[in-house]
């Protein structure tokens, strides 16, 4: 039987970031996945190692981008810096955004956020998911205490005293601590019997990379329509953005069926032509949106992180950022166990992890539910309330600063 101090199931951004943070400790770590990081198709920019500093990283055309991108907060940037991977991420390709413009399609409500208000040069970065994965993967190779089991199908989970045993078709592995970083449909969560609260948002998100007539001015644009929010996230070429268009599933199916020309026309219109016409688009992908929240994040010798523990509407671009905050918090708990010579699965500090992260993630889930319901309602009173609310917050600088600090992950 193989043995590892910690076994992380899942090699997404959260699982790899966790492996990085733990690899710096004097422990033996393994990552097990049903996919293979090293066999994923890579675009040119992902192969690049650090070369000369003046390298051109702008995409020449929209097809060069990975369509899966994430808005990464200042707090997540800080974590990547601590892990020593930020340089490799930012060298490949990142797109800072310095401003946010949010407005209501029904009425006059609008709000503007400027990074200068919180004394920062930027509010965050838009980063292709494959860029973060490539940088994490490349750096992980430098650790000799990390083993990688790719392309595994998990078949069984057993819980003897002092650890967990998992079986795959190839091997049996004993670990002192099993971590489920295996995404929204987590096998670990289901096999270990964690209870889950789950509810469909009754919306589907459509994503694509688009070319626009006007410069995005390093601004994230978001329009709330009764059918759902539409976001244009600025990429590092001034006329290219990544879009997330969330709407009811029937409408999403119609939009997915549009030919390219109709899609571009409707998309430009849906953003009120703030960036002029949409000139071209990459292929589209769609994702049904579901809120999930595990009732516990830990049990004896097992912990959940990232989407395995919670999934949230992408309207505020927080899902991955919450997962990275889980990583920072769980690592602190495990470091305490190590420094006090306690077993890795010692529950007292793990409970602190669960308490701290669960309440934070729950508040974010509740805030997203509130936003979603508030903005998808056309009742006159609610329309007036939210328009006055937006304009009110926009005119109160202290409240605006508070919201911006929370969104950037640097609030108290
Ligand atoms: C449209 C959209 C837009 C978004 N935009 C943002 C944004 O702007 N900002 C943001 O912060 N978040 C955003 N998110 C959320 C973000 O994408 C996720 O929260 C994040 O990718 C989750 O990362 P993860 O590593 O926890 O899970 P995943 O990325 O799902 O990784 C899970 C890993 O586990 C592996 N795995 C799964 N099952 C098994 C198994 N049975 N055995 C072994 N391995 C397994 C998979 O191969 C995968 O590698 C968005 C989400 C959507 C849908």
Ligand 1 atom having least distance to the Cα of 246: 1
Instruction: Give CA separation, 74 vs 77, 127, 140, 198, 273, in Å.
Output: 5, 13, 23, 29, 29
Higher pLDDT: 372 or 236? It is: 236
pLDDT at position 49, please? 44
Given a cut of 50, is residue 44 above it in pLDDT?
Answer: no
Distance 250 CA to ligand 1 centre (A): 24
Contact between 316 and 371 under an 8 Å Cβ cutoff? The reply is: yes
Task: Kindly report the number of other CB atoms within 10 A of residue 132's CB atom.
Answer: 28
Question: Per-residue confidence at 10, pLDDT binned at 50, 70, 90?
Answer: very high
The domains of the chain, with CATH numbers, are 2-40+65-370 (3.50.50.60)
**Residue 309 Cβ < 6 Å to ligand 1:** no
Please provide the average confidence, as pLDDT, over all residues in the chain. Answer: 89
Burial of residue 44 (CB within 10 Å: 0-12, 13-18, 19+) is: exposed
H helix runs in 24-112, sequence order: 44-47, 74-83, 86-92
Taking 3-state DSSP, the helix, strand and coil percentages for the chain, each rounded to the nearest 5, stand at: 40, 30, 30
Q: Is 126 exposed, middle or buried (0-12, 13-18, 19+ CB in 10 A)?
A: buried
Question: Within 13 Å and on the Cβ side, how many CA atoms surround 375?
Answer: 25
Q: Percent of the chain, pLDDT > 70?
A: 86
Q: Is 314 in the pocket of ligand 1 (CB under 6 A)?
A: yes
Sorting pLDDT into bands at 50, 70 and 90, what band is 396?
A: low
Tokens representing 198?
């789950």
Q: Which of 320, 313, 309, 295 is nearest to 367 (CA)?
A: 313
Ligand 1 centre from 11 Cα, in Å? 10
Q: How many Å apart are CA 135 and CA 137, to the nearest integer?
A: 5
What is d(CA 109, CA 140) in angstroms, rounded to the nearest whole number? 46
Residue 320 Cβ inside 6 Å of ligand 1? The answer reads: yes
φ, ψ at 162 (rounded to 5°): 65, 20
Q: What is residue 402's predicted lDDT score, i.e. its pLDDT?
A: 66
pLDDT at 369: 83
Residue 403 has pLDDT above 70, yes or no: no
Least confident of 19-33, 112-126, 284-298, 304-318: 112-126
Q: How far is the CA of 271 from the centre of ligand 1 (A)?
A: 27
Work out the average pLDDT over 9-15. Answer: 98
Measure the CA–CA gap between 120 and 108, rounded to whole angstroms: 28
Q: Whose CA is nearest to atom 30 of ligand 1?
A: 183
Contact by Cβ (8 Å): 328, 20: no
How many C-beta atoms surround the C-beta of residue 209 within 10 A?
A: 25
The mean pLDDT of 345-365, rounded to a whole number, is 94
CA of 183 to the centre of ligand 1 (A): 5
Q: What is the pLDDT of residues 145-186, one digit of tens each?
A: 999 999 999 999 999 989 999 999 999 999 999 999 999 999
Question: What's the confidence (pLDDT) of residue 62?
Answer: 85
Average pLDDT, integer, range 375-383: 68
């Amino acid at each position: 039987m193989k043995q590892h101090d910690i076994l992380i199931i899942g090699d997404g951004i959260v699982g790899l970031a966790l492996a990085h943070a733990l690899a710096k400790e004097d422990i033996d770590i393994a990552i097990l996945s049903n996919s293979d990081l090293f066999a994923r198709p890579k675009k040119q920019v992902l192969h690049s190692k650090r070369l000369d500093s003046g390298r051109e990283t702008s995409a020449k055309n929209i097809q060069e981008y990975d369509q899966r991108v994430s808005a990464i907060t200042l707090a997540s940037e800080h974590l990547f810096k601590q892990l020593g991977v930020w340089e490799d991420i930012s060298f490949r390709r990142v797109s800072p955004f310095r401003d946010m413009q949010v407005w209501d399609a029904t009425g006059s409500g609008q709000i503007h956020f400027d990074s200068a208000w919180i004394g920062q040069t930027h509010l965050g970065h838009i980063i292709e998911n494959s860029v973060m994965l490539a940088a994490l993967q490349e750096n992980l190779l430098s650790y000799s205490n990390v083993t990688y089991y790719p392309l595994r199908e998990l078949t069984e989970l057993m819980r003897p005293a002092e650890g967990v045993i998992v079986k795959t078709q190839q091997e049996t592995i004993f670990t002192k601590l099993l971590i489920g970083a295996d995404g929204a449909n987590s096998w670990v969560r289901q096999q270990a019997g964690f209870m889950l609260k789950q509810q469909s948002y009754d919306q589907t998100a459509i994503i694509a990379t688009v070319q626009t007539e006007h410069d995005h001015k390093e601004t994230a644009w978001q329009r709330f329509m009764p059918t759902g929010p539409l976001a244009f996230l600025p990429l590092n070429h001034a006329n290219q953005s990544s879009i997330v268009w969330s709407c009811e599933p029937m409408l999403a199916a119609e939009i997915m069926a549009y030919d390219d020309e109709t899609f571009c026309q409707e998309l430009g219109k849906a953003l009120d032509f703030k960036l002029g016409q949409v000139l071209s688009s990459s292929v589209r992908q769609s994702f049904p949106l579901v809120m999930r929240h595990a009732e516990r994040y830990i049990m004896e010798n097992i912990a959940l992180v990232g989407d395995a523990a919670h999934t949230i509407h992408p309207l505020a671009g927080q899902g991955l950022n919450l997962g990275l905050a889980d990583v920072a918090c769980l690592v602190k708990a495990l470091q305490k166990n190590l420094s006090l010579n306690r077993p890795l699965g010692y529950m007292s500090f793990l409970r602190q992890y669960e308490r701290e992260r669960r309440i934070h993630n729950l508040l974010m889930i509740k805030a997203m539910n509130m936003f979603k319901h508030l903005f998808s309602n056309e009742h006159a009173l609610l329309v007036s309330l939210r328009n006055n609310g937006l304009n009110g917050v926009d005119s109160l600088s202290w409240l605006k600063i508070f919201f911006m600090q929370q969104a950037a992950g640097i609030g108290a």
